[in-house]
Amino acid sequence: MKKLILSLLALSLTAPTLQAGELHKVMGKREGRTNHSFMYEEKDCKTCHQGAPKGPASEAACIECHGSYDEVAASSADKTPNPHDAPHWGADVPCTVCHSEHQPAKVLCNDCHQFAFPNFSK
Amino acid sequence: MDENIKQSRRAFLKGGLALSAMGLAPAALASTPDNSIQWDETFEVIVVGSGLAGTCAAIRAKENGAQNTIIIEKMPVLGGTSAISGLNFSVVNSHLQQAQGISDSAEQFAEDISKAGGYQNHRHLTVKMAETTTRVLPWAIERGCRFHDKLKSLGGHSVPRTLYPVNGGGQGILRPLRAFYTDKLSGEIRRRVKFDKLHMNAQGEVIGIQVREQYFFDPNLGNDDRENTTGVVKHYRATKGVVMAVGGYSRDVEFRAMEFPNIRDYIPTTTHRGATAGALKSLVAAGAQTVHLSLMRFAFDIPTEDLQWGALVDPQSGNRFLSEKNDRQTVAEAICNIMDRNGGRFPLNIYDQDGIDNFHDKQRLHLALEEGMMVKYDSIDALAAAEGIALPGLKATLSRYNDDAQRGKDSQFGKDMAALKHVSVKRAPFYAIKARPKFNYTQGGVLINENAQVIARDTAKPIKGLYACGEATGGLFGRIRLTACSCPDAFAFGVIAGEQAAKA
């Protein structure tokens, strides 16, 4: 785990605007995000599926590597609108509400709005 | 002895005596249910739902002595539809009305609501809500809610009485109240805890709920309530009461198709993703009386009043199909009918610069342009091509429309174009916006009394231990909800539900 965190940290240092990866096949029929390739290479499901491999992943793993909601919101503060700090909820929307690892992802905001988020990987 | 076993035993003895006295036992007593439940946790008050009504209920329960109160929310995001609503708050005798010398009363407010709702409301509930707004506003402000220093004068309201929150409902009202509940009152909110059903004792009183913790709502399921099997079953006991603040069912495509067969799955909704009918069904299963379930309310991306400044056309034919100067329900229902015939394609509102200049809500107009819902074009040909409208039909339609505008009378649908300053669709640039009737609110729900207690279908009496507030309830608004009134309802009956549950 520590090795993974350190390698991701190194990766994020070289890519300050690291964005969610595109979907691509990783194991058999399963798809995953390109920026999580190193976890698939090591067959490490438990990094995200901390409870059980077949149960849904929670945000604890996201936060562990990417930072708290407030930190993520601060990192996108220059965006208008800030996808991680909407006036409706503040920085209080769990990551998996929008970001999906194994399926196409969908922005919660666009249930009602039609924002363009060019960095969002669908 | 376990309280439930004790109660079951008492019911059995009572049933036995009745049997010996009458020679016949009612079926309900003869089949006393086994209510021995292994409770995982016990609370005084359990509030189901984290929207405005639920948040108010939880705060008031705690403020009235029910310290062991909890809010559960099935979604990962808090606030339900309240978080994404404008939450315009209509209040009787607010500080702003008093400052401006505006005379108002609960009866006057209730009359406005009744009139809008075709007088199909339970008027005593309407009056109760209206009069409660007076004390709730200062209470809300004291707990951090922020409102602009102006009153809105809105259609259907006989006097200006509507406050509106700073930066919208989520930021101006709900987040401050939530912070007050969690920080000042040390209140607990649990996410991803789905309410499944009510637990009742042999007397038909609500004593707790069954939930699933670690529940993951799936917006892709046809019916999440039935098909989603995630989560671990738990049993929460409520010693004082359960408050159902579960919102409406506008997004439940399966349920609404049964209630409104012509509302297809492509008709959008303004509510949050979790506005399903599961909790309503559980209330019905527990014997709650329902009212007005088959009443819907629509909203558009631009205000209904601004539809009148242009032509509404079916893209398949290029033809108009009703007067654009109509109430929202009539327009929405006509659109649903047209879409049934054109393969599900949204009609479009078409304006020229004159129409746009007459919009009464410039803020919504700019938002629509900014977000790309409304698009600007140099010519009708370009507009028709981009929006997929049959050009020959559209040209014929606008030719007739513009002639009518000049004469002041709509020869097709009777729109009073003289009153609309003879505005036509002639002068470039032109604008188009899809007319999407968004399923916005459900007037129906469970019936409550003035104490927010849920009424039983079989006895017409309150179900002990069970309260409901907000959009989960029905009857207060009648056939259609007057604008800017869902917020005062959530505030008023949320506060009442919390107070009453704490007193139980």
Which is more confident, B220 or B500?
B500
Residue B265 has pLDDT above 90, yes or no: no
Residue B13 exposed, middle or buried by CB count within 10 Å (0-12, 13-18, 19+): exposed
Share of chain A above pLDDT 90, in %: 28
Q: Are residues B232 and B379 in the same domain?
A: no
Give the distance from residue A90's alpha carbon to the nearest chain B alpha carbon, in angstroms: 8
Residues of B435-465 as b/e, b for ≥16 C-beta within 10 angstroms? bbbbbbbbbbbbbbbebbbbbbeeeeebbbb
What H or E segment, with its residue span, contains residue B377? strand B374-377
Instruction: Among B418, B436, B454, identify where a domain stops.
Output: B436
Residue B94 has pLDDT above 90, yes or no: yes
Give the distance from residue A93's alpha carbon to the nearest chain B alpha carbon, in angstroms: 6
Across residues B127-142, what is the average pLDDT? Answer: 97
Which CATH number covers residue B413? 3.90.700.10
* pLDDT at site B494: 98
What's the pLDDT tens digit per position in B61-80? 999 999 899 999 999 999 99
Give the distance from residue B342's alpha carbon to the nearest chain A alpha carbon, in angstroms: 24
* pLDDT at site A47: 84
* Type of residue at B363: Q
Chain B interface disruption, residue of A95, A107, A111, most B CBs within 10 A: A111
- Chain B hits for A88, CB-CB cut-off 8 Å, are 79, 83-84, 168-171
Q: Are residues B464 and B321 in the same domain?
A: no
- Chain B hits for A97, CB-CB cut-off 8 Å, are 76-77
Q: Are residues B77 and B29 in the same domain?
A: yes
- Chain B hits for A106, CB-CB cut-off 8 Å, are 219
* Residue B418: band (very low, low, confident or very high) from pLDDT cuts 50, 70, 90: very high
Q: Are residues B50 and B70 in the same domain?
A: yes
What mean pLDDT, rounded, does chain B reach?
Answer: 90
Q: Are residues B155 and B286 in the same domain?
A: yes
* pLDDT at site B242: 98
Residue B426 exposed, middle or buried by CB count within 10 Å (0-12, 13-18, 19+): middle
Distances (CA, A) of B202 to B28, B35, B285: 9, 7, 15
Across residues B329-338, what is the average pLDDT? Answer: 92
Q: Are residues B488 and B341 in the same domain?
A: no
Give the distance from residue A94's alpha carbon to the nearest chain B alpha carbon, in angstroms: 6
Interface contact B77-A113, CB threshold 8 A: no
* Type of residue at B124: H
* Residue A106: band (very low, low, confident or very high) from pLDDT cuts 50, 70, 90: confident
* pLDDT at site A12: 41
Interface contact B76-A94, CB threshold 8 A: yes
- Chain A hits for B372, CB-CB cut-off 8 Å, are 114
Q: Does B371 touch chain A (CB under 8 A)?
A: yes
Residue B24 has pLDDT above 80, yes or no: no
Q: Cite the beta strand spans of B82-187 per DSSP E.
A: 89-90, 162-163
Alpha carbon A56 to its chain's center: 14
Asked whether the beta carbons of B476 and B446 are under 8 A apart, the reply is no
Which CATH number covers residue B284? 3.50.50.60
* pLDDT at site B19: 41
Give the distance from residue B328's alpha carbon to the nearest chain A alpha carbon, in angstroms: 19
Distances (CA, A) of B55 to B72, B136, B243: 10, 13, 11
Q: Are residues B431 and B455 in the same domain?
A: no
Q: Does B82 touch chain A (CB under 8 A)?
A: no
Interface contact A93-B77, CB threshold 8 A: yes
What's the pLDDT tens digit per position in B345-382? 999 999 999 999 999 788 779 889 987 989 999 999 99
- Chain A hits for B191, CB-CB cut-off 8 Å, are 94
Q: Are residues B236 and B331 in the same domain?
A: no
Asked whether the beta carbons of B25 and B15 are under 8 A apart, the reply is yes
Backbone torsions φ then ψ of B185, nearest 5 degrees:
-100, 0
* Residue B35: band (very low, low, confident or very high) from pLDDT cuts 50, 70, 90: low
What are the tokens at B397?
Answer: 């339609």
Interface contact B167-A108, CB threshold 8 A: no
Across residues B451-467, what is the average pLDDT? Answer: 95
Pairing verdict, β B462-468 and B453-455? antiparallel
Residue B33 has pLDDT above 70, yes or no: no
Residue B31 has pLDDT above 60, yes or no: no
What are the tokens at B94?
Answer: 């607010």
Across residues B233-243, what is the average pLDDT? Answer: 96
Q: Does B170 touch chain A (CB under 8 A)?
A: yes
Across residues A69-77, what is the average pLDDT? Answer: 93
Backbone torsions φ then ψ of B235, nearest 5 degrees:
-125, 120
Which is more confident, B466 or B483?
B466
Across residues B41-56, what is the average pLDDT? Answer: 98
Q: Are residues B163 and B14 in the same domain?
A: yes
Chain B interface disruption, residue of A88, A95, A112, most B CBs within 10 A: A88
Residue of chain A nearest B300, judged by CA positions: A112
Asked whether the beta carbons of B166 and B148 are under 8 A apart, the reply is yes
Number of structural domains (chain B) is: 2
Q: Which domain holds residue B64?
A: 3-296+440-503
* Residue B151: band (very low, low, confident or very high) from pLDDT cuts 50, 70, 90: very high
Across residues B203-217, what is the average pLDDT? Answer: 94
Asked whether the beta carbons of B114 and B121 are under 8 A apart, the reply is yes
Where do the structural domains in chain A lie, given as residue ranges? 2-9+21-111
Q: Are residues B236 and B340 in the same domain?
A: no
Q: Are residues B214 and B112 in the same domain?
A: yes
Across residues B148-173, what is the average pLDDT? Answer: 92
Chain B interface disruption, residue of A54, A80, A89, A108, most B CBs within 10 A: A89
Pairing verdict, β B89-90 and A23-27? unpaired
Please determine, looking at this structure, whether the domain spanning A2-9+21-111 carries the CATH number 2.60.40.740.
no
* pLDDT at site B436: 85
Alpha carbon A117 to its chain's center: 14
Chain A interface disruption, residue of B55, B73, B77, most A CBs within 10 A: B77
Give the distance from residue B52's alpha carbon to the nearest chain A alpha carbon, in angstroms: 12
Which is more confident, B60 or B439?
B60
Q: Are residues B75 and B147 in the same domain?
A: yes
What's the pLDDT tens digit per position in A18-65? 446 888 778 787 789 988 888 888 878 878 887 766 677 878 889 989
Residue of chain A nearest B87, judged by CA positions: A88
* pLDDT at site B448: 98
